[in-house]
Amino acid sequence: MRILIAEDDQVLADALLRSLRAAGAVVDHVANGSEADAALMTNHEFDLLILDLGLPRMHGLEVLKRLRARSSPLPVLILTAADSVEERVKGLDLGADDYMAKPFSLQELEARVRALTRRSLGTTTNVLRHGPLTYDQVGRMASIDGEVVELSGRELGVLEILLQRTGRLVSKDQLVEHLCEWGEEVSNNAIEVYVHRLRKKIERGPVRIATVRGLGYCLQKIEP
């Protein structure tokens, strides 16, 4: 999961970054509305926007309005002051999916992030399944027929992306966009290595990662 945080309070932003990264998310941060708007226009691989409304240089409501004017379905969780009922209403009317009033619990924010992600994927559970292969997005644990599969952080990231798009092609560029924060450099060769390692660990069952040369990867079930 790749998240953009638009928050000008650096202390709060740092806490959000630590919390969400510890939960396995890839997280980028901007400190003003203009940067948020620019990032949203140039990067289409974010899975969620956490948007503070009281941003400098462009108000959060304007960022949200411009995002929805581009017909973007990106889930948006707005952050507001505890007494700003009017702003919360405006945010929801402009297309925000949820809100949290400051101060808030990081544990609750993580739960709301998971709920918004489930909703955007059309699922009702944090466990992704594909035949005998399951992945618990909260515990970040993969298993086949109930037996835990030991995977690295990058391998878990690749698996999560493929499971969220079962039956669809996922390009190397898409994997890079979802796995890497700004400033990180991961080559297509590195992606091939992650996929190769993941393939060796999960293809002992009736599940395989198919490679479509020049296009990408697709998670498939092998029919008996």
- DSSP annotation of 43 reads -
Tell whether the model's pLDDT for residue 106 goes beyond 70. Answer: yes
- How many Cβ atoms from other residues are within 10 Å of residue 115's Cβ? 16
Beta strands 127-130 and 216-221, pairing class: unpaired
Under a CB-based contact definition with an 8 Å cutoff, are residues 151 and 198 in contact? yes
Using CB atoms within 10 A of its CB, is residue 81 exposed (0-12), middle (13-18) or buried (19+)?
Answer: middle
- Which pLDDT band holds residue 18 (cuts at 50, 70, 90)? very high
- Which pLDDT band holds residue 112 (cuts at 50, 70, 90)? very high
The predicted model scores a pTM of: 0.80
| Integer CA distances (angstroms), 164 to 17, 78, 143, 195, 205, in order | 23, 24, 16, 16, 19
Under a CB-based contact definition with an 8 Å cutoff, are residues 197 and 158 in contact? no
Summarize pLDDT for 32-43 with one digit per residue, the tens. Answer: 999 999 999 987
For the chain, percent of residues with pLDDT exceeding 90: 52
Residue 129, strand partner residues: 134
111: helix, strand or coil: helix
- How many Cβ atoms from other residues are within 10 Å of residue 58's Cβ? 17
CATH number of 127-221: 1.10.10.10
Q: Where are the alpha helices (DSSP H) in 23-59?
A: 33-42
CA distance 213 to 208: 15
161 vs 182, higher pLDDT: 161
Tell whether the model's pLDDT for residue 86 goes beyond 60. Answer: yes
What value does the mean pLDDT take over residues 118-133? Answer: 82
- Which pLDDT band holds residue 224 (cuts at 50, 70, 90)? low
User: Domain map of the chain by residue range?
Assistant: 2-121, 127-221
Return the residue matching tokens 């309070």.
9
Q: Which of 3, 11, 63 is nearest to 32 (CA)?
A: 63
Stretch among 12-21, 86-95, 105-114, 201-210 having the lowest mean pLDDT: 201-210
Fold (topology level) of 2-121: Rossmann fold (3.40.50)
Under a CB-based contact definition with an 8 Å cutoff, are residues 136 and 144 in contact? no
Tell whether the model's pLDDT for residue 51 goes beyond 90. Answer: yes
Mean model confidence pLDDT for the chain = 89
